Structure 1
Amino acid sequence: MSQQKNVTTPQHGASLGNCLSIGAGIALLLILFFLISGGWFTQQPKPEWEKYWMIRPLIVVPIAGAAGGALFYFLGFLRNQGGWITALAYFLSTVGYIIILWLGTVFGLAGTWWN
C-alpha cells in the first residue's frame, strides 16, 4: 500500500474566462452609457472623424475591461491569504481595474471626443 500526498492548489472564486467576460461586460456597459449620454445618436460627427468612429471605443474599452478582469483573476492568490492581505488584494484589484479602464477609454476615444 502506498501513501498518497494531498496537494492543495489555490482555489479561485471564478475561472479566468468568467473574470474576462465580467470585466469586458462592465466596460461595454460603461462605454455604451458614455456614448449614448453624450449624444452618439443625435449628433453628426465632425467631418475629420472617420465614418464609423464609434466602433473603436466599442472594441478597445471592453478589451481594456477584460484586461482589468484578468488582473482581478491573477491577484486571486492574494485574496486567499486572509486578513489584511485580502483587503489589500481587493483594493489593488479595484484600483487597477479603474486605471486600466480609464486608459482604455482614453485610447478608445482619442482622436474623436478627446482630441
Structure 2
Amino acid sequence: MTQQNDFTKPSLNSGSFMKPVLVGAATALLVISFFVFGVDTPDPEWGSFWRIRPLIITPLAGAMGGAFYAFMDYQSSRGFNRTVAILLSLVVYFIGLWLGTVLGLAGTMWD
C-alpha cells in the first residue's frame, strides 16, 4: 500500500503580483508629477534637484499600495471576502499615496 500526499498549494503568479504594483506606482507618479511639474518658479533654497525626492518616494509608496492590493487579492482567492478586500486595499492605497506625497514634498512644497 502506497500513501500518496497530494497537497495543492495555491501559487502566486509573479505576473499577477507585478501588475498591481506597476499600476500603483504609475498612478502615484502621475499624481506627484501634477504637483512637481506645475511649479513655475521654485524657491531657491530648495536646491536645484528638489524634484528627485518626490519623484522617487511617492511612486514607491504607490507601489507598496499596489503590493498590498495584490496581497489582498491573493487572500480573497483563499476565502477572504472580496468586497472587503478591495475596499481595504483602496483605503490603504490612498492613505499610502497621501503619506508618500507628504514625505516626498516635505521641506519643499509641503511645510
TM-score (normalised: structure 2): 0.83
**Alignment root-mean-square deviation, CA:** 2.3
Query: Any unmatched runs of 5+ in structure 2?
Result: none
Corresponding residue number in structure 2 for 1:64 = 61
1:49 to 46, 49, 63: 46
Provide Cα deviations, 1:13-60, integer angstroms capped at 9, x if missing partner.
x52222221110111111112333xx32xx222121111111111111
For 1:20, the aligned partner's letter is V
- Counterpart in the other structure of 1:32: 33
Question: Secondary structure of the residue that 2:57 maps to in structure 1?
Answer: helix
Residue 5 of structure 1: how far off its partner (Å): 2.5
- The yes-or-no answer on 1:102 pairing with 2:98 is yes
TM-score of the aligned structures, taking structure 1 as reference length: 0.80
Residues paired across the two proteins, number: 109
Q: Deviations over 1:52-106 (max 9, x none)?
A: 1111111111011001011111112332226xx1111001000000011100000
CA contact (8 A) 2:73 2:82 kept: no
- The percentage of aligned residue pairs carrying the same residue is 44
- Alpha-carbon shift at residue 6 of structure 1 (Å): 5.8
Report how far residue 8 of structure 1 moved. Answer: 4.4
